[in-house]
Structure 1
Amino acid sequence: IQTSQSSPDLGRGAPVPGRCAYFVERKKRFCKMIPAPGRRFCGEHGQQEEENDRKRIPCPLDPKHTVYEDQLQKHLQKCNSRAKPKPVYFVQDINAGLKDVAEIPEKEVPICSLSKEKLDNLIITLKKASTGLELHLKEQVLSHQALQEALNDPKNGESAFKHLKQQASILGNMEKLHLLGPGRCFVEFGAGRGKLSHWVDVALQNAENVQFLLVERATTRFKVDGKHKRRDSVFERLQVDIQHLCLNKVPILEKKKLPLVGIGKHLCGAATDLALRCLVESYTTCCDGESQEPAPKRSRTDKTEVASNNSADNESNKDDCKPVAGIVIALCCHHKCDWTHYVGREFFKSVGLGPVEFNYFQRMSSWATCGMRETTTKASTSDESEDQSNDMEEHEQTCSKTESGSDTLQGILTVEERKEIGHLCKLLIDHGRIEYLQQHGYKAALQYYTEPAVSLENVLLTAVPSLSLI
């Protein structure tokens, strides 16, 4: 069988019977689309047969695919790349953060191009700014009975087992903070297939009045949230970038104002900052309906409310009823953080740092895992059936290799030194997030929630309102 090429290369083989005979050079395989009966090529590659002299042209909405010219107008009305109406909860850049473009730094030179003197000065600045920070995080590797059966199932491979251990520890930490209970709305950011929400639902199978909002900007295959049969739990997907998500406008939250619990497993880089601002600012300040002014006033008095007299009791009660009951997010990919969205800018400024230093430190943070990336890649034989199956491993493998600069920096820093500096960069960035949450009336903490052998990205950020019992 001849392909679309005039003389196919040896080794291409033949197309699968019943499939398109066009050889896709970019993918080094035949097209897998099914052609019409009696045709050798699918509609996309039908121009190869010059049938009826009909001309195919690139789609003006997405030139990656083509369309018959005489059917262009009809195609534009149903093309998947057409502009879709924005959902009611879409508010442009509501969680974006920095609006002053003058403060956004220009692209810095690669770290591997820095002189030894410049690199030494950056490391000295990093260590000085980190003085006084808790360098050794508490280990809080927990589990939850909801996952015990899955953890003991021999059918699960190594990759699935690692994900299950992480999910079990996240649920264990949620339970310790009293966040697993009835009458809650769990918002999973970067939900992917929704497996974390799935396990929360399993853990709450006897609880009433439970809702789940799964926030994911990409269309996701093999979702698990549609398989839940329990009548008293509601699953709803919000296909939107966290940057533009206004929780206050989500219909299910307008109708039933349940306390929120924000969760996430490996919420990548700047997405963590967007999620924190989404929960702490854009939702909290609007949650009281028409009265939006009291929220900032309450946050300014948070530190003094413990010692307040009876005249401030009403204000204290309002703080006890914060609409966000807790936040539990497994952090990931600090090298993808962005000064524009970063919530800890005030902390950085307080220790004499700015956008230039932040840009260097967020890229140097990839050094924390650069020494182990090769073994992680070799050991990772992921299972296609596993949720977000390669997310964690892929994040670690795709840490900017140019920034790890292992070859260039070999004569300047050892692997262990780079690893230590990378961890320090991560810690500094995360401490800015902790201070941000504290300033908004939350008791926040960082802890190791799983072993490095399970995930190199093993830090969990937790936060609950300061006046809550822990």
Structure 2
Amino acid sequence: PAFPAASLGRGAPVPGRCAYFVERKKRFCKMIPAPGRRFCGEHGQQEEENDRKRIPCPLDPKHTVYEDQLQKHLQKCNSRAKPKPVYFVQDINAGLKDVAEIPEKEVPICSLSKEKLDNLIITLKKASTGLELHLKEQVLSHQALQEALNDPKNGESAFKHLKQQASILGNMEKLHLLGPGRCFVEFGAGRGKLSHWVDVALQNAENVQFLLVERATTRFKVDGKHKRRDSVFERLQVDIQHLCLNKVPILEKKKLPLVGIGKHLCGAATDLALRCLVESYTTCCDGESQEPAPKRSRTDKTEVASNNSADNESNKDDCKPVAGIVIALCCHHKCDWTHYVGREFFKSVGLGPVEFNYFQRMSSWATCGMRETTTKASTSDESEDQSNDMEEHEQTCSKTESGSDTLQGILTVEERKEIGHLCKLLIDHGRIEYLQQHGYKAALQYYTEPAVSLENVLLTAVPMEK
């Protein structure tokens, strides 16, 4: 209640502000009431002389509305359904819908018997036979970030983010992806920092376009500050699962080759982004609608060649292809079998959705083993970025396998860490094979040191040469 607030030692509200004490926040409401009122519209029901009834909004019960103004409110409520953008195509990148369902009652890994756990580990190691277990270290930098990297005002977290961004740009430059006449699509863009640095690196380049894909509204965006006439920043507020790049007006108009980028694109979002780039864009960019394109592709090429590089080359002739993909991977424990692009690879080594479900959760062990070194979260502005590495790792430890410590009698921390890395590698290799089957030369590499980020693997891909 608002009235006893002062008597309970809560002090007094700020003059000219609402007199309602918000128990959850332990302070008075900061909204400005109407002239002559003690309470704001949200807390007006607390005022004795106000006999109008407020009810929870049916669109979002977190806020209330006067009952006699409900219909008017529904027309302008921020929670109302908004019209879908032209590039929204329901589930276009979601993957197959007829896959086998994972059993609803999943047994927690910490509840597995030692025999069952041992069998899972044996299966994991067998499936990983022949894979490159030691990735190439390719920690690079770029001159566009040198001034920022040398800025003494940077805190530790900001410095780590800059080092990662510099290495991503360095890897892009090595693949000859930084150049004019390109459209850079940043998935999970958040504040847009990665696109910002790409733009700085291309300050003298002409005809550069940026599309920043983010499903949530974002604070502290940096893309709005760009004034250079030769580059255009556009935000696409849509889930990657429903994004058809072919229908984005600027791409329909300019037909620019794409470069897909992302810094710490969590779990399933990486698979959705790969499918968005490799399938829903390149297979339909020469057609009027979604359906005819695959048919046209099959008639142009034989059934045998439909999934190889020759088919990809035919698409190159029909439309501007994806020139490259550079994505810093993250949070494999958030992957999903339905969206996963490497299902065929898993099946080829005798694995299915059940094994994927276990390996996906066990992947969190790769970072949980170092939780003592990652307990300090960022306090700088970078904590508002699209990914806070430390927070992600803390979530991994606390949410995915909270009982993993009970495995200490079976597996040591180092053994869990090794198994976690193996799970990540297996999942990522499925992505590599998927890209290879679609005509791309794909690779995994360490792009930064573990001390900078525990999620330090970069996925890169460029079209195969003829």
Whether TM-score is above 0.5 comes out as yes
- d(CA) in 2 for partners of 1:93, 1:406: 34
- d(CA) in 2 for partners of 1:449, 1:288: 35
CA spacing shift, 1:311–1:44, aligned 2, 3 Å:
closer
CA contact (8 A) 1:116 1:412 kept: yes
CA contact (8 A) 2:158 2:382 kept: no
Q: What is the CA-CA distance between 1:329 and the residue it aligns to?
A: 0.3
Aligned to 1:361: 359
Deviations 1:93-128, CA, capped at 9 Å, x for gaps = 000002115444434111111111111111111011
CA contact (8 A) 1:267 1:332 kept: yes
Q: What is the CA-CA distance between 1:403 and the residue it aligns to?
A: 1.1
Q: What is the CA-CA distance between 1:375 and the residue it aligns to?
A: 2.8
Q: What is the CA-CA distance between 1:321 and the residue it aligns to?
A: 6.8
Instruction: For structure 1, list consecutive stretches of 5 or more residues without a partner in the other structure.
Output: 1-6
| RMSD of aligned alpha carbons | 3.4
CA contact (8 A) 1:260 1:326 kept: yes
Q: What is the CA-CA distance between 1:433 and the residue it aligns to?
A: 0.3
CA spacing shift, 1:307–1:123, aligned 2, 3 Å:
closer
- d(CA) in 2 for partners of 1:144, 1:298: 42
- d(CA) in 2 for partners of 1:18, 1:374: 47
CA spacing shift, 1:392–1:300, aligned 2, 3 Å:
farther
Deviations 1:176-200, CA, capped at 9 Å, x for gaps = 0000000000000000011100000
| SS of equivalent residue, structure 2 residue 315 | helix
- d(CA) in 2 for partners of 1:309, 1:439: 6
CA contact (8 A) 1:326 1:464 kept: yes
CA contact (8 A) 1:160 1:386 kept: no
CA spacing shift, 1:75–1:145, aligned 2, 3 Å:
same
CA spacing shift, 1:52–1:24, aligned 2, 3 Å:
closer
Deviations 1:318-366, CA, capped at 9 Å, x for gaps = 4697510000000000000000100000000000000000000000000
Q: Between 332-341 and 316-325, report the one with greater CA deviation.
A: 316-325
Q: What is the CA-CA distance between 1:314 and the residue it aligns to?
A: 12
TM-score, normalised to structure 1's length?
Answer: 0.90
Q: What is the CA-CA distance between 1:46 and the residue it aligns to?
A: 1.1
CA spacing shift, 1:391–1:239, aligned 2, 3 Å:
farther
CA contact (8 A) 2:444 2:460 kept: yes
- d(CA) in 1 for partners of 2:135, 2:22: 50
CA contact (8 A) 2:255 2:320 kept: no
- d(CA) in 1 for partners of 2:308, 2:220: 54
Q: What is the CA-CA distance between 1:390 and the residue it aligns to?
A: 3.0
| SS of equivalent residue, structure 1 residue 237 | strand
| SS of equivalent residue, structure 1 residue 330 | strand
Q: Between 272-281 and 378-387, report the one with greater CA deviation.
A: 378-387
| SS of equivalent residue, structure 1 residue 52 | coil
CA spacing shift, 1:310–1:451, aligned 2, 3 Å:
closer
CA contact (8 A) 1:171 1:200 kept: yes
| SS of equivalent residue, structure 1 residue 304 | coil
Q: Between 387-396 and 198-207, report the one with greater CA deviation.
A: 387-396
CA spacing shift, 1:395–1:320, aligned 2, 3 Å:
farther
CA contact (8 A) 1:188 1:213 kept: yes
Q: What is the CA-CA distance between 1:220 and the residue it aligns to?
A: 0.6
Instruction: For structure 2, list consecutive stretches of 5 or more residues without a partner in the other structure.
Output: none
Q: Between 315-324 and 359-368, report the one with greater CA deviation.
A: 315-324
Deviations 1:354-392, CA, capped at 9 Å, x for gaps = 000000000000000002223312264343676337355
- d(CA) in 2 for partners of 1:247, 1:317: 15
CA spacing shift, 1:463–1:118, aligned 2, 3 Å:
same
| SS of equivalent residue, structure 2 residue 31 | coil
CA spacing shift, 1:314–1:376, aligned 2, 3 Å:
closer
Task: Report the count of equivalent residues.
Answer: 461
- d(CA) in 2 for partners of 1:382, 1:146: 22
CA contact (8 A) 1:212 1:236 kept: yes
Q: Between 334-343 and 282-291, report the one with greater CA deviation.
A: 282-291
CA contact (8 A) 1:370 1:404 kept: no
- d(CA) in 2 for partners of 1:105, 1:313: 37
Q: What is the CA-CA distance between 1:442 and the residue it aligns to?
A: 0.2
CA contact (8 A) 2:56 2:65 kept: yes
| SS of equivalent residue, structure 2 residue 462 | strand
| SS of equivalent residue, structure 2 residue 323 | strand
| SS of equivalent residue, structure 2 residue 301 | helix
- d(CA) in 2 for partners of 1:119, 1:309: 37
| SS of equivalent residue, structure 1 residue 286 | coil
- d(CA) in 1 for partners of 2:301, 2:136: 25
Q: What is the CA-CA distance between 1:401 and the residue it aligns to?
A: 4.0
Q: Between 447-456 and 294-303, report the one with greater CA deviation.
A: 294-303
- d(CA) in 2 for partners of 1:419, 1:332: 16
Deviations 1:261-305, CA, capped at 9 Å, x for gaps = 000000001000000000000111101225989987999999999
CA spacing shift, 1:54–1:351, aligned 2, 3 Å:
same
| SS of equivalent residue, structure 1 residue 101 | coil
Aligned to 1:33: 31
- d(CA) in 2 for partners of 1:440, 1:314: 6
CA spacing shift, 1:71–1:204, aligned 2, 3 Å:
same
- d(CA) in 2 for partners of 1:135, 1:301: 40
Q: What is the CA-CA distance between 1:160 and the residue it aligns to?
A: 0.8
| SS of equivalent residue, structure 1 residue 349 | helix
- d(CA) in 2 for partners of 1:95, 1:238: 16
Q: Which of 52, 55, 71 in structure 2 is aligned with 1:54?
A: 52
- Aligned ranges for residues 387-406 of structure 1 at < 5 Å? 387-388=385-386, 390=388, 393-401=391-399, 403=401, 405-406=403-404
- d(CA) in 2 for partners of 1:186, 1:109: 42
Q: Between 386-395 and 215-224, report the one with greater CA deviation.
A: 386-395
Q: Between 365-374 and 137-146, report the one with greater CA deviation.
A: 365-374
- d(CA) in 2 for partners of 1:265, 1:31: 38
